[in-house]
Structure 1
Amino acid sequence: MATSKTANTYNRQNWEDAEFPILCQTCLGDNPYIRMTKERYGKECKICSRPFTVFRWCPGARMRFKKTEVCQTCSRMKNLCQTCLLDLEYGLPIQVRDTALRIKDDIPRSEVNKEYYVQNIDREMSKVDNTVPGGAVGKSQAASDLLLKLARTSPYYKRNRPHICSFWVKGECKRGEECPYRHEKPTDPDDPLADQNIKDRYYGINDPVAEKLLRRAAAMPKLDPPEDKSITTLYIGNLGDKVTEKELRDHFYQYGEIRSLTLVPRQQCAFVQFTLRSSAEAAAERTFNKLILSGRRLTIKWGRAQARQPSLLPQMGAGAELEPVPGLPGTLPLPPDELQDNFFNLGGQNQDVPPRQSQSQLPPPGLPTSPSIAPSLPHLPPTMPPPLPVPPPMPQPMHAMRPPCPPPPPPFFFTPALRPPPRATPPAPPGTNPFMAQSVAGVPPIPPPSMVPPGTPAGTSPSRPGPSSKAGIHYPSQDPSRLGTAQGIGKPKWADEVF
């Protein structure tokens, strides 16, 4: 029943007289042609106990009628809806909002102090715009990652459904389909969500819905920065075909200086490398699970240092096996024992070719060498697979099938080790030939090996073979006929000697 002005005149100037309520989109409903009823000073506020204007309306078809519960002064102090008492910006309970923004509620609980506090707040808010929240919420403008993760971005009209029919629960409802209430099974009375209090919702204490949301937020995945401080690269996935390099650069430039931005269209991802580690951490914290570009929610991860990726080979060892990949067939079984001594040695533990055994280690002929029989003979060595056959030589080309070239001729000098020691000869008298002096002394000149080919009979000359040639003449300067002497005159004594 409305409070009469003539019956209660105490502090009447602070009563609220509004023209339109402060509501959220969910409470207004999806009907744009909404009609409301307004009752001035219809009820007192559930928080400050002051009379205020009550609005009542139906959000839509098959919905229940809703009305305002608190005054607009209490609503602006907390920036909440007058009907559902949820935050107008994020659609969350007050306890979740205050926990994320670290807002301390200093509203007094006693009646006298509460009335004095509300009057002062109302006086301050009358000097500013009505669309701006007041109190501690208006002073806290910083956004929180927790609020962005839990925020409801679309209206939840299911909350406007009618209540459950108590007669249908008892089995006594006679309206049938014309009943405006729901004919559904009620929730468990022991469920904490079934016991909600409007004052606890407003003050942000003991709210079961807020506690459920905070537990969900604690279980959400977090993007922890890597221990390596040199990593300043972020991986951006799920780009699609519409996200361009300019959009990525314009968005991530606000977090710090970008060293490089690499776009991989084939993999629909990109790599953003910052100059400072602090810029990369700020970008990862503010964009993880909440970055939306061109209508796509992007995946944010930290990059990896390629030079420091751990290798699996030292940890696995020689006989370790990898974990099976889901959706792929398993490993093939090992070959049977009969294939252990085959040509390729498929069943052997060591695939390398063993060394060839000596004749003393081979088993005598006629004895079995099968691996199933050999262990029963202790005096026989273990059988080894035969070595791999040597492939036949490749055919040589035609130009490589020429006959080999003859060896080069020996050098035209004597090796010092094979040269005979020199003999002491008396000096030649003046006016005589030194070669003649050597022949008189009994030292015949040694012909060079290149002038006398091997196999030439003694007493013949390479240029003039046969016994009729001049024996002992090897150079033209040794021919007495060319020295001005007559034929046969001055013939040296060693001319007829055979070497």
Structure 2
Amino acid sequence: MPFNFTKFDPNKQGWEDAEFPIVCETCLGDNPYMRMTKETHGKECKICTRPFTVFRWMPGSGMRFKKTEICQTCAKMKNVCQTCVLDLEYGKCLPVQVRDAALDIKDSTPNLAINKQYQAQNMDGKFEAGQSMIDYGRADSAGRETLRKLARNAPYYRRNRAHICSFYLKGECTRGDECPYRHEVPDNELSNQNIKDRYQGNNDPVAAKLMTKGRGGSTNLTPPEDKNITTLFLTGVEEDVTEDDVRDYFYAFGEIKSVIMVHKSRCAFVNFASRSAAEAAADKASFDPVRIKDHLIRVAWGRPRPVGPKGETAKNKAAGTGTQAMGPPPPPGSEAAANIKYPSQDPTMQGAVQ
């Protein structure tokens, strides 16, 4: 019988033997009756290369199987999920690079495998003493605002979808709808990422995209060429945000003609009396995030829409006239809604709609 050196290895005492993984709500999935398999010392950690306990599960119907990728010691060092290696404190999918940039944290992960194992063994003792390696309180007000703005308020289960079919990308997949993988063209930039770069916060394309997105509180704030558009479109409007709250925030930029709230779609429209007032509000939103009742509101310019029948639309489009800011239908019970004639009410259109 061959001699088992691993059994008497003194470093084996520090190998992980956990009962449950450290995972985020997104990776865990929305299935309350999920079954999970456990394999003690099944793989080596992709960061410190020490063997650790591997958990594997199906997060939900139509999703792919998920498993733990790094050990719990490395996960505790960065306070990240063992599967997606994303931060556990802010939201459900915040990259380490974004968090460390806001908290001004420098990565101290060694490059050599032996040094990584030595660091992990030292950290085990600190974690047993209750020490935390990430101090979220050190962030300044700007950093906290950035993290708060980029953090998700709900799990993002689309991240658990099946991988993209490689045969489809080559044009060779013949399974069609029966293929268990996605038939999509990937984003080349976002597809070039790996566990180590995501963990260390280096060259993470997802983080770069989020940080570019988070420099301003809003998108699409370039003034449209149509000078008749004086409407700003707001998203992220919760139920407790009232019309008076929106008016109180935007009245300082100029006279407001009307404010239309659509709570069902979590959006609103602010119609200014002048183009200059709308541009002033948009410029302000480009640099300072709009926050009403502690809710982050995203701002964009209203889009033009054609007016009148299709024939008049083409004529007006050629002449460069006949556009106005797009808005929602009038609220039920209003005078504008009473003047709308539906096919069932118009005798000339009877039989046109089956």
Match of 1:93 among 88, 92, 95: 95
Ranges in structure 2 where 5+ consecutive residues have no aligned partner: 219-233, 251-287, 299-322, 326-354
| CA-CA distance at 1:21 after TM superposition | 0.5
**In 2, Cα distance between the equivalents of 1:123 and 1:266?**
51
| CA-CA distance at 1:140 after TM superposition | 4.1
| CA-CA distance at 1:10 after TM superposition | 4.1
Is residue 207 of structure 1 aligned with residue 204 of structure 2?
yes
**In 1, Cα distance between the equivalents of 2:25 and 2:241?**
31
What does residue 9 of structure 2 align with?
Answer: 9
Q: How does 1:160-171 map to 2 (within 5 A)?
A: 160-171=160-171
**In 1, Cα distance between the equivalents of 2:97 and 2:202?**
6
The 3-state SS of whatever aligns with 1:146 is: helix
**In 2, Cα distance between the equivalents of 1:14 and 1:7?**
12
Q: How does 1:6-405 map to 2 (within 5 A)?
A: 6=6, 9-90=9-90, 91-128=93-130, 134-137=132-135, 140=138, 144-182=144-182, 184-187=183-186, 191-220=188-217, 269=248, 288-292=289-293
- 8 Å CA contact 1:78–1:134 kept in 2: the answer is no
What does residue 351 of structure 2 align with?
Answer: none
Aligned amino acid, residue 118 of structure 1:
A
Query: Do the aligned partners of residues 149 and 69 (structure 1) sit closer, same or farther apart at CA in structure 2, a change above 3 Å counting?
Result: same
Deviations 1:423-479 (A, max 9, x none): xxxxxxxxxxxxxxxxxxxxxxxxxxxxxxxxxxxxxxxxxxxxxxxxxxxxxxxxx
What does residue 366 of structure 1 align with?
Answer: none
| CA-CA distance at 1:110 after TM superposition | 2.0
Deviations 1:147-176 (A, max 9, x none): 011111111111111112223444544544
| CA-CA distance at 1:89 after TM superposition | 1.9
Query: Do the aligned partners of residues 12 and 217 (structure 1) sit closer, same or farther apart at CA in structure 2, a change above 3 Å counting?
Result: same
**In 2, Cα distance between the equivalents of 1:101 and 1:205?**
15
**In 2, Cα distance between the equivalents of 1:33 and 1:155?**
18
| CA-CA distance at 1:194 after TM superposition | 1.8
Q: Whose helix proportion is higher, 1 or 2?
A: 2
The 3-state SS of whatever aligns with 2:82 is: coil
Ranges in structure 1 where 5+ consecutive residues have no aligned partner: 222-236, 245-263, 272-286, 300-325, 329-499
Aligned amino acid, residue 177 of structure 1:
D
Computing the radius of gyration from Cα coordinates, the structure with the larger value is 1
Q: Cα RMSD over matched residues?
A: 3.9
- 8 Å CA contact 1:16–1:41 kept in 2: the answer is yes
Query: Do the aligned partners of residues 5 and 240 (structure 1) sit closer, same or farther apart at CA in structure 2, a change above 3 Å counting?
Result: closer
Query: Do the aligned partners of residues 116 and 170 (structure 1) sit closer, same or farther apart at CA in structure 2, a change above 3 Å counting?
Result: closer
The 3-state SS of whatever aligns with 1:113 is: helix
Identical counterparts, % of pairs: 54
Query: Do the aligned partners of residues 64 and 114 (structure 1) sit closer, same or farther apart at CA in structure 2, a change above 3 Å counting?
Result: same
The 3-state SS of whatever aligns with 2:38 is: strand
The 3-state SS of whatever aligns with 1:112 is: helix
How many positions carry a matched residue from both structures? 248
- 8 Å CA contact 1:77–1:137 kept in 2: the answer is no
| CA-CA distance at 1:193 after TM superposition | 1.4
Deviations 1:10-38 (A, max 9, x none): 40110001011011111111111111000
Query: Do the aligned partners of residues 140 and 78 (structure 1) sit closer, same or farther apart at CA in structure 2, a change above 3 Å counting?
Result: farther
| CA-CA distance at 1:141 after TM superposition | 7.0
**In 1, Cα distance between the equivalents of 2:69 and 2:238?**
47
- 8 Å CA contact 1:240–1:268 kept in 2: the answer is no
Deviations 1:37-76 (A, max 9, x none): 0001100100011111100000111110010000011001
**In 2, Cα distance between the equivalents of 1:79 and 1:13?**
23
Deviations 1:287-335 (A, max 9, x none): 9534536xx6679xxxxxxxxxxxxxxxxxxxxxxxxxx969xxxxxxx
TM-score by length of 1: 0.43
| CA-CA distance at 1:136 after TM superposition | 3.6
What does residue 230 of structure 2 align with?
Answer: none
Aligned amino acid, residue 152 of structure 2:
R
Q: Which one scores higher on RCO, CA 8 angstroms, separation ≥ 6?
A: 2
TM-score by length of 2: 0.60
| CA-CA distance at 1:205 after TM superposition | 0.8
- 8 Å CA contact 1:121–1:135 kept in 2: the answer is no
- 8 Å CA contact 1:241–1:268 kept in 2: the answer is no
- 8 Å CA contact 2:146–2:214 kept in 1: the answer is yes
Query: Do the aligned partners of residues 266 and 75 (structure 1) sit closer, same or farther apart at CA in structure 2, a change above 3 Å counting?
Result: closer
**In 2, Cα distance between the equivalents of 1:266 and 1:208?**
37
Q: Whose strand proportion is higher, 1 or 2?
A: 2
